[in-house]
Structure 1
Amino acid sequence: MKEIRCPNCQTIIPIDDSLYIEILKQVRDEQFELEKEKLEKLDQEKRKAQLSLMEKEYQTKLEKLSSQAEFEKLTLIQKQQSLLQKKEQEIEQLKSQRAIDLAKAELAFKEKIQDLENQKNQIETQKQELLLNMNQKLKDKDEMIEYYKDLKLRLSTKMLGETLEKHCENQFNQLRATGFKNSYFEKDNDVSSGSKGDYIFRELDEEGNELVSIMFEMKNEADQTTTKKTNESFFKELDKDRREKKCEYAILVSLLEPESELYNGGIVDVSYRYEKMYVIRPQFFIPMITILRNAALKNAQLKKELIEIRQQNIDVTHFEEKMMDFKDGFTKNVELASRKFQGAIDEIDKTISHLQKVRENLVASDRQLHLANKKVDNLSIRSLTYKNETMTKLFKKNKK
């Protein structure tokens, strides 16, 4: 672009090269005409020479201006081409950078999807492991609950694989050599009276005199003959066997009515129905024999003392006091044993209640795992790209 200044107002007017050359040509033509008029007044030859010289000068200047205008035009075109090339380079760089950014975003998107898949698989694996662990714990807890329920019924009687009779016989034989040297404990095989008990126990003193005798009847809930029967349904027959076999006491060792608080409470005295009769659980088999034998030994000692007292004409009042002391002591021993047994039952009930709560918590944990699994199953690409146009486009491009 060229600029010209107005000689009057001094305003600068921009014009393009072609117009500038045209104006310049007009100015030069006008000047030429003026100079021509002047030269007309001169000598014809001189005019011609001057005219020729002026024409040459004019032609030279015109050529010079034309060359300068062309050069400036070419320079301008080159500058424009350079700028255009630079812009094109910048555009290509932006395109390349955008392609790199898109590739990075696509890679990051794929890595994110893969990471989510890995997390899903990991959660699924952990869920399966936790479910297996939880199922095993539930199984263990169920087994433990059943164990404690069974323990409450049998209280470490170790009767697995044994009948109740065999269990009691084994318990007695383990102590026979040390605690029951002068005792007799055998099966009742005498059916001459039409019936028989299970076992008869007899204890003799050093002189061979009988101290105590017990008719035993064992009833296990698993026996077909005792199905849906109560302990009391065997009292009458047991009392009959006791009398016919001339035994002092009758004891029913029973696993019947396992939920009965009465029979689970310890040693139950049913002498209000039948004389000298007791109902016990298997764990009281040996303790009951010991109690009755010790009572018999004490009674025998008192009898000896009574004989001595009578022989020495000593007042029998002292003997009666000892008898009362013995009776009170015996009652206290029975009550103490009953309280200890009830305490053990209460502890087992507490353990069962605790295990039931643990099982409920494990079941609740299983429900939470199912909810977590449902959330994992609902995880999808569509949900991840929802309302995210950039990720949606990338995913569509990757899918293509």
Structure 2
Amino acid sequence: MTTHDITCPHCHKAFSLDNAGYADIVKQVRDREFSRQLHERLEAAAQEERLAAERTRFAHEQEMHQALHERDAEIQTLKNQLERHEADRQTAARLAEAERKAQLQEAIQAKERDIQALQAKLSASATENELAITRAVDAMRQERDALQSTLKEAELKNRLDATQIKERYELQLKDRDDHIERLKDMKARLSTKMVGETLEQHCEVEFNRSRAMAFPRAYFEKDNDARSGSKGDYIFRDADESGTEIISIMFEMKNETDSTTTRKKNEDFLKELDKDRTEKKCEYAVLVSLLEPESELYNTGIVDVSHRYPKMYVIRPQFFLQIISLLRNAATNALAYKRELELTRQQNIDVTSFEEKLEAFKNGFARNYDLAHRQFEKAIEEIDKSISHLQKVKESLASSEKNLRIANGKAQDVTIKRLTRGNATMKAKFESL
């Protein structure tokens, strides 16, 4: 037998072990080392998964902050461009107006100079050129008046253009302010992870986008039936070409903002959702929730809560179409089995109905047989009574015949001698006769 020498690491004593003992110690050491390494690797994998989730969340927040920063920068740029544009427009308007005034003033001054020159000539040759100068002066004055009128019209047109430009830019400024308000409102509601719409509207829009391609025969509408005292948010039903229902799902959407003081949990709505699913005869129930945003359980994906309530799931909005597709595909694969089960059930119903009809026929036939049997026995009893009565009549008749025969015998034995025996009177009368 092979032995192994082992030295104790504590007391430094050497001892020998056979193959079985040595193998047992090696197995213990190997199993303990394997368990330790496995535990360390599992902890490392869990830590890495948590770090990946944190990195993803941090990257998402950084993207959101970057998007907000870019929007703020874009808004500020638009404001700066608008201010520069307004300043340029005002400067250009002032320059154009000044240039028009300068041109008109220069023209007026030139005409004035011409008038003064003509007046000087007039004073030099008043007699011969007075009429021509007067006409020229009138013409010059008319032209000056026309130029002044043109200047006023230009000023009025300039004011109208400035007013129109001002109104147009005020309208643009109002549109920019509305856009800024929308961006601010969008920024205030980014904490709900929904841009410009509620959770229900988000799910309805997502479904309608895919309805024509993925769910052409599906029914997805709000649950408006509150006769039982409560109702869900949406009901989804899908059927095949023959109209046979494939699947039905009751949806409940839950959301809350960051300013909400009382925090709800997903478990607070599961019982009511199961009740609504049962009352509306839906096969599955799904809670689309943004509650508990820090929960690692609900952030991992589709959460099955069937251990609490049958066929129930809790999801985030990004898994809305995926859960419908998964449940619908599973139900479609099971549709053939459902049809076979329905056919078997119908056959069982037919067999049961046939057996019930056969049993009813047997019971009816037995009842009629029993009635006929009782009537037959009664008739036989009456016949027996009649036979007994006739037998008595027969016996009475037979007895009467015997009596008549005896009486006839006795009548045959009657003679005059016997009649007159012992009666002397009658004997004397018969003799006399």
TM range (shorter): 0.3 to 0.5
Task: State TM-score, norm by structure 2.
Answer: 0.35
